[in-house]
Structure 1
Amino acid sequence: MSWRIDTQKTAVLLIDLQEKLLSVIEDRDRVVHKAVQLVKLAKLFSLPLYITEQVPEKLGLTCKEVLEEVGDTPRIWKNTFSAASVLPSDLPKTILIGGIETHVCVRQTVYDLRMREKVLYVLGDVVSSRNRLDHQLGIEEMRQDGVLISSVEAVGWEMIVKAEGEIFKKFLSILK
């Protein structure tokens, strides 16, 4: 099996990036900035994009910065901590994951999707929790269990493959 990210078999999943939740999240601005970059990369590489919202009637909608970038991409409402049960059964093999909170919804989703034999990249710069320790423990646990922890920039460079052409120019503008 190749370790390379095949854009033909990859999707992006953003979990619960809702303003009400983000208002108490450690490094909120970084998480949102990197989530927007990830959405732009998903568009550039034509990756399917899935966005969940935890009980939006109580916690509100996805933050405006992400909504502005995703356009009319439908959001999936959930009332479970794991997003796995509300995602389509025919998800691509590889999923790039960002969202909040690292140690709750992200972690539970990762473990449930592993049961569906998905290859998961948790993007450490697009996940966080209310406090740093919970975030760090969530990342550490997943890493010890063999989950791939990466970053938006690292997976972006993996997907671009070569340094030439119009797509490469657009790619560079996204990472600025």
Structure 2
Amino acid sequence: MLEQARCGLLVVDVQGSLAKQVHDNDKVVANISLLIRAAELLEMPVVTLEQYPRGLGPTVQALQEKLPQSPLRKTSFNGIEHEAIEQVVRDTDRSQWLVCGIESHICVYQTTRGLVEAGFEAEVIVDAVSARHQLDTQVALEKCRDIGAGITTLELCLYELLGTSLHEQFKEILPLVKAHVD
């Protein structure tokens, strides 16, 4: 079960022209934007990664405007493989990580695997990840489940984090859930 006090959001490589090439790109970016806002309301840390931004370009503008801090740069597909990134994740003192971003079968999968191997709980948000080909996302999600990561949806994880309609942020999160793009 996800717990707000133990959970953070990891945004993986939503960058440049690649972000425009993935399946359902507008939906994925909109849902990630919503997740960033929800994380802010729930006082959850947001860690954003960029894969070789000189080559792929920066994080898309629609997300940059919402990020609480600058993205961390990486060259390995597994972001946790970078000591500095793993340290930032550890320094948040959060043991559960929601993972979203692109591409599902490369950096999302390998970073999720890195989280699990480093002793974190990871849950991949299926309606906030994508790849150029749907089959790659399907297989990546199966592999994530096989290594012990959870698979969730945007609405499922938000309601799980809230736990009750009496949560102090429920009224602020509800409009975000209604804005969720299927």
Q: Mapping of 1:126-145 within 5 angstroms?
A: 126-145=128-147
- 1:6 pairs with 2:3: yes
Aligned residue number for residue 19 of structure 2? 22
Contact kept, 8 Å, 2:3 with 2:160, in 1: the verdict is no
- 1:48 pairs with 2:45: yes
* Cα deviations by residue, 1:58-87 (Å, 9 ceiling, x for unpaired): 2111111111222x4121011111111332
Offset of residue 166 of structure 1: 5.1
Structure 2 letter corresponding to 1:120: A
Question: Structure 1: how far apart are the matches of 2:46 and 2:14?
Answer: 14
Question: Structure 1: how far apart are the matches of 2:147 and 2:49?
Answer: 24
- 1:74 pairs with 2:70: yes
Change in CA separation of 1:165 and 1:126 when aligned onto 2, cut-off 3 Å: closer
RMSD value over aligned CA atoms?
A: 1.4
Structure 1 letter corresponding to 2:86: P
Offset of residue 171 of structure 1: 0.8
5+ residue gaps, structure 2, are none
Q: Mapping of 1:27-176 within 5 angstroms?
A: 27-70=24-67, 72-86=68-82, 87-89=85-87, 90=90, 91=92, 92-164=94-166, 167-176=169-178
Offset of residue 19 of structure 1: 2.6
5+ residue gaps, structure 1, are none
TM-score, normalised to structure 1, is 0.92
Question: Structure 2: how far apart are the matches of 1:47 and 1:78?
Answer: 22
Change in CA separation of 1:78 and 1:172 when aligned onto 2, cut-off 3 Å: same
Question: Structure 2: how far apart are the matches of 1:166 and 1:112?
Answer: 33
The alignment of Structure 1 onto Structure 2 pairs a total of residues equal to 172
